[in-house]
Amino acid sequence: MEKIPKKVDRRKFIYAGLGAIIAVVGGLAAYFATRPPERIVETVVQTQTQTVERPVERIITQTQVQTQVQTQTVEKTVERTIAPTPIEKKTIRWWQLIQSAKNLIFAQQGAAALFEKEHPDVKIIPAVYEYPVYQTSLLTAIEAGNPPELSTVNNVWMAQFAKAGYLEPLDDRIKEAGIKKEEFFPGAWESVVFGGKTYGIPLDVGVWMFLYWNKDLFKQAGYNPDEPPKTWEELIEMGKSMRKKFPADIHPFAAGAGLDAYTSVLHNAFLRTRGGELADRKTLKATIKNQENYDALQFYKDVMEISQPGFLTQWEPESSLLFASGKAAMTFDGEWMSDTFNLKGPPGWDVADIPIPGGEKYGKGPGRAIGSFGGWNLVVYKDAKHKELVWEFIQLLLRPEVMWNVVTLTPSKLDVAKEFIEQKKKRPTVIFNTLANSPPHAAFWSVRWTEISRVQHNMVQEVLSGRKTVQQASSDASDAIDAILAKEPKE
């Protein structure tokens, strides 16, 4: 009797087939894992095992089942996209000061996107700071050996940062890039040069001070809304008259003396318009024991008398808010505040040069308003990373269409500033001329500007509070400034 073949174990064949498939796929995965990122089309050969059962008729009258195994080869095309390996990006932290109602962080992000498009391996991380915390934040990062790759620096901090060795001299880079100092406002370029070396590139500029006035309140007080006061004497007399006509919550003037930096630039504008100067760069001596400073201090005190309560402890945030809300007829501020007043100010505001001494009470000066030229300079830190990329980014920021957007004051380049002022500012000729003819902040060249500014602030406070006469306060401040400048390092 013929032996009947044993039934084949299906599970063993199925498991064997699956094992072969897994081995092939696993081998392919290992192979392609070592390949560079790309889109791959591959042909995978798979072996499929199929079990077929069919009846077989035997000589004997009994029907038995025979198991036959058929093996079929199938070719199948599979598309697979291999994920690219992430690029490790170089990070550039970019810090700036915010000084008006402008959405600066949005503007920064736009400039960053332009640079990142040209440099896919770079990530720009912008950040903005307000004035009271900005210098401290920078110094803390610098002294920890971790400065931002790029930042703006106040022109009155430049001497301190440069002479302390924090900043990289840029003369060779400037020459190679073909950047000329004549392209910038003179006061802006003057603020980046120390000891014959150039430590920054001016980005934006501003002048303290201009006179802003509310035409509606002028009308209410019986004054011609198109004629602001031209002299110190006119301003004070007008303020005294307005005081009698306005209700208690409306003030003829809004200003202050609460912050040392604000007080010093306001005093500088008065002092220079009267014909004086705070200190001499060559002799390293104070120059304030004179009639020019006495008159400037007296005018500051007289402005307080026609201004809001709290004058001694308040400064720009409070005074600009009073003016913007229609609670003050006049204020002193920089030209950048026109952006804020356009958005939030009274509908009938206007701007002019600050008044000048008329010769009756306060003597005479040079016959024109002289502001205190401020601004912010782009710098490269010695301890920063990616200096070549940072310099490329600075050059992008100097492009007219980019500079226009990222400044919080006025562009530092003359051609860009002229168009910017004509399109965005009231009284463009007044503003441009004052910017072009104003020197940097007094004693900007000193590494101890902050100390000098505090002495200047204290001098003003002593006079405004009535604790000292203008002569005594000037004498004491002069001695204090001389002692500070005696420690000044030679350039």
Q: Provide the strand spans (E) within 58-149.
A: 63-81, 90-97, 122-129
Q: CA–CA separation, 102 vs 337, rounded Å?
A: 10
Q: What are the two backbone dihedrals, phi and then psi, of residue 354, each rounded to the nearest 5 degrees?
A: -65, 150
Q: Provide the strand spans (E) within 227-361.
A: 251-254, 279-280, 285-286, 328-333, 349-353
Q: What are the two backbone dihedrals, phi and then psi, of residue 434, each rounded to the nearest 5 degrees?
A: -65, -40
Q: At 396, list the tokens.
A: 């992008």
Residue type, 395: Q
Sign of CA dihedral 477, 480, 484, 486: positive
Name the nearest CA neighbour of 362 among 295, 427, 418.
295
H or E segment to which residue 206 belongs = strand 201-208
Name the nearest CA neighbour of 407 among 192, 92, 96, 180.
96
Q: At 162, list the tokens.
A: 């440069």
The phi-psi region of residue 57 (left if phi > 0; otherwise alpha if psi is between -120 and 50; otherwise beta) is beta
Answer yes or no: is pLDDT of 56 > 60: no
Average pLDDT over residues 42-50: 37
Give the pLDDT score at 261. Answer: 87
pLDDT band at 84 (very low <50, low <70, confident <90, very high): low
Q: At 183, list the tokens.
A: 């392209």
Q: CA–CA separation, 175 vs 405, rounded Å?
A: 26
Q: What is the pTM of this model?
A: 0.77
Peptide bond before residue 158 is cis, with ω within 30 degrees of 0: no
Q: CA–CA separation, 134 vs 384, rounded Å?
A: 18
Give the pLDDT score at 150. Answer: 97
263-282 pLDDT, tens digit per residue, is 999 999 999 999 999 999 99
Q: CA–CA separation, 297 vs 291, rounded Å?
A: 10
448-471 pLDDT, tens digit per residue, is 999 999 999 999 999 999 999 999
The DSSP bridge partners found for residue 67 are 53
Integer angstrom CA distances of residue 453 from 131, 184, 375, 446: 15, 26, 16, 11
Q: CA–CA separation, 104 vs 171, rounded Å?
A: 29
How would you label 130-158 residue by residue, b for 16+ Cβ within 10 Å and e otherwise? eeeebbeebbebbeeeebbbbbbbbbbbb
Give the pLDDT score at 73. Answer: 47
Mean pLDDT of all residues belonging to the chain: 85
> What is the signed CA dihedral for 166, 398, 340, 231, rounded to 10 degrees?
80
355-405 pLDDT, tens digit per residue, is 999 988 999 999 999 988 889 999 999 999 999 999 999 999 999 999 999
How many Cα atoms are found within 13 Å in the side-chain-facing hemisphere of 254?
25
pLDDT band at 101 (very low <50, low <70, confident <90, very high): low
Answer yes or no: is pLDDT of 42 > 90: no
Answer yes or no: is pLDDT of 67 > 60: no
| Residue whose token pair is 């006509």 | 245
Give the pLDDT score at 125. Answer: 97
Residue ranges and CATH numbers for the domains of the chain are 10-81 (no CATH), 88-491 (3.40.190.10)
Entry field: residues in the chain: 491
Answer yes or no: is pLDDT of 137 > 80: yes
151 within 8 A of 379, measured Cβ to Cβ: yes
Name the nearest CA neighbour of 384 among 153, 159, 111, 129.
153
pLDDT band at 111 (very low <50, low <70, confident <90, very high): very high
Q: CA–CA separation, 252 vs 328, rounded Å?
A: 6
